[in-house]
Amino acid sequence: MAAGMDFSPPFTRAEGGYSKDNVSARENENPENLDHMKQTTNGKPPRCISVIRHCVSSTKLLQATDVELDIGIIIKKSPLDTNTEFLPVFRSGSCAERGPKQYMEDEHICIDNLTEHLHATADFPSLGAFYGVFDGHGGTDAALFVRNNILRYIIEDSHFPACVEKAIKCAFVKADHAFADDGTLDISSGTTALTALIFGRTLIIANAGDCRAVLGRRGRAIEMSKDHKPNCTSEKLRIEKLGGVVYDGYLNGQLSVARALGDWHMKGPRGSACPLSAEPELQEMHLTEDDEFLIMGCDGLWDVMSSQCAVTMTRKELMLHNDPERCSRELVREALKRNTCDNLTVIVICFSSEPPPRIEIPPTRVRRSISAEGLNLLKGVLDSNS
């Protein structure tokens, strides 16, 4: 990797921005269509970010491989089929809205070409992409810090690129510790973190908290992450084993997530076991031609919408206009109509330059038969009525 890499944010913040290079620019749009998305200016959080942001961009990936079509909402690693000639094209769009809350505390990042963004040399693993959603709480410091540094910690980790999964896990913990060491920030603020890292045909989702990544596969929703809620059975067992308690769905009666970065007022000395964990859970799979798009969103979306509903809506929108940025905006609008109570951040990443094809379901032939006994009985009834 070349020295002096640029890890600067891939887009600036602006209201209604739109850019193929992830650099926001003002979008001309009919204001009547955005009436219900306009924000008030009732104060700002400690380090205020913009209330609404959009971005869209695209890039190509290397060959991916095929998998069998799964039914329903599942979490499953796909088998590899080296005979496929699938060549994905990445097109991403995002939308972030403050919603009914007083402050906007979410952050997100979209990088469709890592090689170009990092000014990487030929020894870089392969062409790839990186996306992230960071749902902050208690202020914006933690979410902004993790957004600006998490990719750098992954790339600089000693396990990268030999073991990318280990590098990602170490990067989350390192970001958590580095945030605590920054004396200029409010270390009592916290954030969940959901990232998607793609190298070649491999997609790796890492999640700590209650953001969610959902893959759209021929109209089917496949959840690529698990919500880390304190009352989740596995999380509750982990919390109680480490001396914590879950009260009314809250970790130690204070926090509605079981994993987060920051929140150092709830954590013990560095390196000690803590009920509030910063370590992410990972899910890896190979993209195929059946995998049409990925939705990444904070809990403000998933609190009012199921994974399958979001996939169905996104696929329908893509078939109409084939624009991932508009899809993300429509998902945000729908969540607002459903009276979400939180900030909203949504990223939609498409894997093809074409809109999703119509799914043709061949009509089934129903063959009916009647036994000889039944036929004789029917004849008898007809004869008696004649």
SS (H, E, C) the chain: CCCCCCCCCCCCCCCCECCCECCCCECCCCHHHHHHHCCCCCCCCCCCCCCCEEEEEEEECCCCCCCCCCCCCCCCCCCCCCCCCCCCEEEEEEEEECCCCCCCCEEEEEECCHHHHHCCCCCCCCCEEEEEEEEEECCCHHHHHHHHHHHHHHHHCCCCCCCHHHHHHHHHHHHHHHHHHCCCCCCCCEECEEEEEEECCEEEEEEECCCEEEEEECCEEEECCCCCCCCCHHHHHHHHHCCCCEECCEECCCECCCECEECHHHCCCCCCCCCCECCCEEEEEECCCCEEEEEEECHHHHCCCCHHHHHHHHHHHHHHHCCHHHHHHHHHHHHHHCCCCCCEEEEEEECCCCCCCCCCCCCCCCCCCCCHHHHHHHHHHHHHHC
- Taking only the tens place, the pLDDT of each residue in 280-336 is 999 999 999 999 999 999 999 999 999 999 999 999 999 999 999 999 999 999 999
Pick the range with the lowest mean pLDDT from 12-16, 215-219, 263-267, 373-377.
12-16
**What band does 221 get if pLDDT is binned at 50, 70 and 90?**
very high
Q: Tell me the mean pLDDT in the region 22-42.
A: 43
Question: ∠ CA 102-140-151 to the nearest 5 degrees?
Answer: 140
Angle at which helices 141-156 and 164-181 cross, to 10°? 140
pLDDT higher than 60, residue 152: yes
| Cα(218)–Cα(357) distance, integer angstroms | 8
Residue count of the chain: 386
pLDDT higher than 60, residue 18: no
| Cα(317)–Cα(341) distance, integer angstroms | 24
pLDDT higher than 80, residue 146: yes
Q: Tell me the mean pLDDT in the region 134-149.
A: 98
pLDDT higher than 70, residue 184: yes
What pLDDT sits at residue 371? 77
What pLDDT sits at residue 386? 64
What pLDDT sits at residue 215? 98
What pLDDT sits at residue 270? 84
pLDDT higher than 50, residue 173: yes
What pLDDT sits at residue 43? 44
% the chain with pLDDT above 70: 75
What pLDDT sits at residue 89? 80
Q: Which of 254, 161, 246, 172 is nearest to 207 (CA)?
A: 172
pLDDT higher than 70, residue 234: yes
Please enumerate in sequence order all residues whose Cβ is within 8 A of that of 370, keeping only pairs 6 or more positions apart, or say none: 378
Q: Tell me the mean pLDDT in the region 327-347.
A: 98
Residue whose token pair is 């803590």: 274
Q: Tell me the mean pLDDT in the region 338-352.
A: 96
% the chain with pLDDT above 90: 61
What pLDDT sits at residue 272? 84
**What band does 356 get if pLDDT is binned at 50, 70 and 90?**
very high
pLDDT higher than 50, residue 11: no
pLDDT higher for 103 or 32? 103
What pLDDT sits at residue 366? 67
Pick the range with the lowest mean pLDDT from 19-28, 192-201, 232-241, 248-257.
19-28
**What band does 383 get if pLDDT is binned at 50, 70 and 90?**
confident
What pLDDT sits at residue 1? 47
pLDDT higher than 50, residue 107: yes
pLDDT higher than 80, residue 21: no
pTM confidence score: 0.75
| Cα(281)–Cα(368) distance, integer angstroms | 51
pLDDT higher for 374 or 112? 112
**Centroid of chain to Cα 249:** 23
Q: How high is the mean pLDDT of the chain?
A: 82
In order of start, what are the domains of the chain with their CATH numbers? 91-350 (3.60.40.10)
